[in-house]
Amino acid sequence: MFLPSAPPAGRQAAVVFVFITVLLDMLALGIVLPVLPKLIESFVDGDTSRAAHIVGIFGTTWALMQFLFSPVLGALSDRFGRRPVILLSNLGLAGNYLLMALAPSLGWLFLGRVLSGITSASISTANAYIADITPPAERAAKFGMMGAAFGAGFVIGPGLGGILGGFDLRFPFWAAGLLSLGNFIYGWFVLPESLPKEHRRSFTLATANPLGSLQLLGATKELRRLSAMSFLFSLAQYALNSVFVLYAGYRYGWTTTQVGFALMLVGVCSGIVQAGLLKHLRKRFDERQLLVGGTLCGVLGFVMLGASSAGWVFLLAVPLNSLWGLAGPSGLALITQRTAGDTHGRVQGGLASLSGIAGLVGPLTFTSVFGFCIAADTPLQLPGAPFLLAAGIVAAGLVLAMPVLRRADQTAH
């Protein structure tokens, strides 16, 4: 384990730089979310059913690219440093968004989505950057800042994308491309390197492929349990991401505008928890306590989301479920405390690969459960089943991690 010799003020400035980089990345991703399905629909003569099928293919492909290339970028950052990988990713994102803005056919649009999945996989490198420059005791709070950047990007991005898309479906892609290009220019001038040359490792295919990266997460029983928990948490997140729009319309009759405001509420609550609340609670509670408390809130929140028969009850459940955001950064901090500093890039790449696997199976799992439970001939009429399933998955993640948390508690005492 190591920390660069930069003074604390320099490290704090670097954290701000990475925060802005992640924020701009997420803002660019969020801008295209409301209009990508509509643009796909325009390529198939307005056939909504066919467009929905293609949107699913695009989403699965994007997740597959994340799974395959997150460990590659993580290993490259361990070999050549974090800075060049982050910068090249930003430049690649700019190029692919501009390609999608100009795409003359569905094939070109698909190519842009593939490139987006590859280049946006650098989030794992950003997390490795934070692990490089932050003392172990402060990492949960810093990872929470990265989570807040995610939330802020997805609060502002979809709204801005919806406004721009009202003028022209291509405008949001132009905006996302320019944001990513600006992010590259910004990082070129202000982002220092966090990984000294003497701490870099050679690049090998064994560590750059998804399975090789996952092997690192299985090095010890504690890492296996914490990594399994991380996977289950990532999987459960797709309950809200994949079925929310359909669920809100089916059960509450919400309009697109109401759904948009609800999504903004989700993002705002997530940002408050990870940007502010986590930092203050970290002064009173350690990672283990925050992980357990946040996970229990997540379980109760999902149960409430699935059981609520009225829209206002669903909205009340959103802040409770958002407290689950205390668990992710705390779990990530526990994992980094159990790995060497010169493997942070590959560890983060491995975790991103697990998230990618969750992205491959999560949407199909939850949408299939939702479809089955609202079908006319189903033996189980239960629209909230996807959220109840997510509650069980989150609870299972906590059960897996409990032996590690108990040992850590005994060590602390």
Residue 299 belongs to some domain of the structure: yes
Amino acid residing at 38: K
Residue 194 belongs to some domain of the structure: no
Tell me what pLDDT residue 311 has: 86
Residue 200 belongs to some domain of the structure: no
Tell me what pLDDT residue 9 has: 46
State the average pLDDT over residues 334-348: 66
Q: In which band, very low, low, confident or very high, does the pLDDT at 299 lie, cut at 50, 70 and 90?
A: very high
Residue 292 belongs to some domain of the structure: yes
pLDDT in tens, 228-278: 888 898 899 888 877 776 677 778 887 656 766 777 788 788 778 876 787
Q: Output the domain CATH number for residue 146.
A: 1.20.1250.20
User: Rounded CA gap, 341 and 132, in Å?
Assistant: 7
Tell me what pLDDT residue 413 has: 46
- Does the pLDDT at position 203 exceed 70? no
The range of the structural domain enclosing residue 25 comes to 8-189+207-412
What's the domain count of the chain? 1
User: Rounded CA gap, 219 and 346, in Å?
Assistant: 13
Token output for 131: 């692990």
Residue 201 belongs to some domain of the structure: no
This prediction's pTM:
0.64
pLDDT in tens, 233-243: 889 988 887 77
The better pLDDT of the pair 309, 66 is held by 309
Place of tokens 């689950």: 324
Residue 133, CA distances (Å) to 18, 86, 87, 344 in order: 11, 16, 18, 11
Residue 401 belongs to some domain of the structure: yes
User: Rounded CA gap, 47 and 290, in Å?
Assistant: 47
Mean model confidence pLDDT for the chain: 76
Q: Supply angle C-alpha 28, 78, 153, rounded to 5.
A: 15
CB 390 within 8 A of CB 98: no
Residue 374 belongs to some domain of the structure: yes
Tell me what pLDDT residue 396 has: 93
Residue 198 belongs to some domain of the structure: no
